[in-house]
C-alpha cells in the first residue's frame, strides 16, 4: 500500500501563493495518476485476453468482466468502469499525444475522456490525426474548458470523416432511454434521452400548455403537471399506488417514529412525506393501495422474510430480494435491480433461497458468471452479506441496506422464537 498521507498534508504556515501552487501541483498529480491507471487497465485487459485466448475462450467472450474489475478497483460503478477501460485502451494504443497531455497534467481525465469520446466513430488512422491536431502542441490546450475541448474535437472529427459522424448521430437514436434519480427535498429527476426533434417537440408542447394555462400555478408547475398527466393518463393530483414500492415501518406509519421510509428505485424519504403518500393513496378511491408485511431479524433489524398470499413462492421470493437489496448488490453499483439470481450458481448446486439470492443489474449478473468470478453470501450478525472475488483474487463486500425503522425488541419468548425461526428459514414465508 502507498503512503498517501503526504499528499493530504498542508502546512499551516504556507502563504497564499504557496497554497495556490500546491493546488496546481495536486491537480497535476491527479492527472498523472489517471494516466497510470489507464496504462494498468489497458495492460490488464491485454493480459486477460491473452490468457482467455490460450484457454480457448471464444473471441467474443475474451476479456469479459475486466471493466467491472477496473470499476471495483476504482471504487466506481460498472458503467464507469466500462468508460474507464475504453479510455485506457484508446489512450495507450491509439492516442499518444492525448496520453502525454494527461500524464503531464495539461488535461484532466474528464477532458481526455471528451476527446476520446468524440473520436470514437473514426477509424484508427483518423483518430490518430485528431489526436495529433488536438494535443501534439500542448500550449493549444491552455485555457480550454470542457465545452471548448468537446466542440474542437467534434469539429476535427467531422472534418476528417463527415459520414462517420452522421452515421453516429443516426445510431444514437437506438440509445434513447428514460432514467430516474433522486433530487433534493423528496423530489425526483426523470431524464428522457430521445432524438433532438422529439425532445424539442415534447418541450414545445409543454411550453404551449404553460403559455395557455392561467390558474395560479407557475409555468414550471404547469409543464411538470402536464407531463405527468400525459404519461400516466391520470390527473397529476391522483395519488400513485405506493404500497408495493414503499417500505415503511409500522411505528413510522401508525405511530410517531420518524425513521425514513424507502421507495423502491428511489431511496430514503422523510417519514412525514411517506405517511402523506400512504394516506393520500388509501383515502383516494381513484388509487388502489395494498399492504404486505415484512419480517425483520430480532437483533440486527435486517429483513429476513416476507408474508405472501400467493402460492407461487418464486414470485414472493423475488419480490423479497428486491425489497431487501434495493439496488444492485455489486459494490459501488447503484443501478436498479433487474435480475434476482443465485449467488452460487444453481447449476453448481446453489439453492434457491433468500440467503443465496442476490439482486443485481443485468450487466453485473452476467459478469459474475464469467470465469474466475465467485460470489459468496452469508449472514453476518443477521445482515445479508455478499462477498465478491475477482479473477485476480481481490475481495469486495457488500451488505444489504438496513430497512426503515428502529430494531424491534420482542417482549415474549414466543415472539422471539417465531422471529428466529423466520430468520433461519426465510422460504417459510
| Percent residues over pLDDT 70 in the chain | 83
Domain boundaries, the chain: 14-174, 177-232, 246-291, 303-428
Tell me what the mean pLDDT of segment 173-201 comes to. 86
Q: Are the C-beta atoms of 360 and 339 separated by less than 8 Å? A: yes
Q: How many helices (H) and strands (E) does the chain have?
A: 16, 12
DSSP 139: G
What pLDDT is recorded for position 291? 60
SS3 for 191-250 is: EEECCHHHHHHHHHHHHHHHHCCCCCCCHHHHHHHHHHHHHHCCCCCCCCCCCCCEECCH
What pLDDT is recorded for position 292? 62
What pLDDT is recorded for position 315? 75
* Higher-confidence position of 194 and 45: 45
Tell me what the mean pLDDT of segment 304-322 comes to. 61
Handedness of CA 24, 27, 29, 31 (dihedral sign): negative
Q: Say which residues have a Cβ less than 8 Å from residue 277's Cβ, sequence separation at least 6.
A: 239, 240, 242, 246, 269
Report the distance separating Cα 100 and Cα 140, nearest Å: 14
What pLDDT is recorded for position 297? 63
Q: Strands 187-193 and 177-183: what pairing?
A: antiparallel
* 205-248 tens-digit pLDDT: 999 999 999 998 999 999 999 998 888 777 777 655 544 466 77
pLDDT grade, residue 112 (50/70/90)?
very high
Report the distance separating Cα 240 and Cα 229, nearest Å: 12
What pLDDT is recorded for position 206? 93
* Higher-confidence position of 98 and 315: 98
Evaluate if residue 284 carries a pLDDT over 60: yes
What pLDDT is recorded for position 44? 97
pLDDT grade, residue 87 (50/70/90)?
very high
pLDDT grade, residue 170 (50/70/90)?
confident
Q: Say which residues have a Cβ less than 8 Å from residue 369's Cβ, sequence separation at least 6.
A: 345
Prediction pTM value:
0.73
Tell me what the mean pLDDT of segment 386-397 comes to. 95
| Percent residues over pLDDT 90 in the chain | 52
Evaluate if residue 416 carries a pLDDT over 50: no
What pLDDT is recorded for position 244? 41
pLDDT grade, residue 428 (50/70/90)?
very low
What pLDDT is recorded for position 243? 44
What pLDDT is recorded for position 281? 67
* 25-51 tens-digit pLDDT: 999 999 999 999 999 999 999 999 999
Amino acid at each position: 500500500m502507498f503512503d498517501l498521507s503526504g499528499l493530504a498534508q498542508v502546512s499551516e504556515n504556507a502563504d497564499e501563493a504557496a497554497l495556490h501552487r500546491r493546488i496546481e501541483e495536486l491537480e497535476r498529480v491527479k492527472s498523472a495518476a489517471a494516466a497510470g491507471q489507464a496504462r494498468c487497465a489497458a495492460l490488464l485487459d491485454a493480459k486477460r485476453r491473452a490468457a482467455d485466448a490460450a484457454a480457448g475462450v471464444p473471441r467474443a467472450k475474451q476479456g469479459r468482466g475486466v471493466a467491472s474489475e477496473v470499476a471495483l478497483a476504482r471504487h466506481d460503478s460498472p458503467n464507469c468502469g466500462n468508460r474507464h477501460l475504453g479510455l485506457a485502451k484508446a489512450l495507450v494504443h491509439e492516442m499518444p499525444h492525448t496520453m502525454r497531455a494527461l500524464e503531464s497534467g495539461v488535461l484532466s481525465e474528464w477532458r481526455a475522456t471528451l476527446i476520446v469520446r468524440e473520436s470514437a466513430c473514426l477509424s484508427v488512422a483518423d483518430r490518430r490525426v485528431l489526436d495529433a491536431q488536438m494535443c501534439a502542441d500542448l500550449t493549444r490546450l491552455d485555457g480550454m474548458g470542457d465545452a471548448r475541448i468537446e466542440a474542437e474535437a467534434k469539429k476535427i472529427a467531422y472534418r476528417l470523416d463527415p459520414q462517420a459522424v452522421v452515421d453516429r448521430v443516426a445510431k444514437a437514436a437506438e440509445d434513447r432511454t428514460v432514467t430516474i434519480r433522486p433530487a433534493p427535498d423528496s423530489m425526483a429527476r426523470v431524464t428522457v434521452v430521445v432524438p433532438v426533434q422529439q425532445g424539442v417537440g415534447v418541450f414545445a408542447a409543454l411550453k404551449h400548455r404553460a403559455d395557455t394555462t392561467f390558474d395560479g400555478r407557475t409555468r414550471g408547475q404547469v409543464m411538470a403537471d402536464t407531463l405527468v398527466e400525459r404519461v400516466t393518463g391520470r390527473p397529476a393530483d391522483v395519488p400513485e399506488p405506493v404500497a408495493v414500492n414503499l417500505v415503511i415501518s409500522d411505528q413510522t406509519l401508525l405511530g410517531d417514529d420518524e425513521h425514513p421510509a424507502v421507495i423502491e428505485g428511489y431511496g430514503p424519504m422523510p417519514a412525514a412525506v411517506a405517511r402523506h403518500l400512504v394516506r393520500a393513496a388509501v383515502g383516494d378511491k381513484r388509487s388502489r393501495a395494498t399492504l404486505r408485511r415484512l419480517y425483520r431479524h430480532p437483533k440486527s433489524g435486517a429483513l429476513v422474510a416476507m408474508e405472501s398470499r400467493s402460492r407461487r413462492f418464486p414470485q414472493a421470493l423475488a419480490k423479497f430480494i428486491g425489497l431487501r437489496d434495493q439496488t444492485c448488490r455489486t459494490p459501488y453499483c447503484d443501478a436498479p435491480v433487474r435480475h434476482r439470481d443465485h449467488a452460487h450458481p444453481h447449476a453448481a448446486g446453489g439453492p434457491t433461497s433468500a440467503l443465496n439470492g442476490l439482486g443485481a443489474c443485468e450487466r453485473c449478473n452476467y459478469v459474475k458468471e464469467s470465469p474466475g468470478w465467485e460470489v459468496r453470501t452469508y449472514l453476518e450478525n443477521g445482515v445479508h452479506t455478499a462477498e465478491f472475488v475477482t479473477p485476480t483474487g481481490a475481495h469486495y463486500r457488500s451488505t444489504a441496506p438496513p430497512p426503515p425503522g428502529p430494531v424491534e425488541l420482542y417482549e415474549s419468548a414466543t415472539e422471539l422464537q417465531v422471529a428466529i425461526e423466520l430468520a433461519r428459514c426465510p422460504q417459510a414465508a
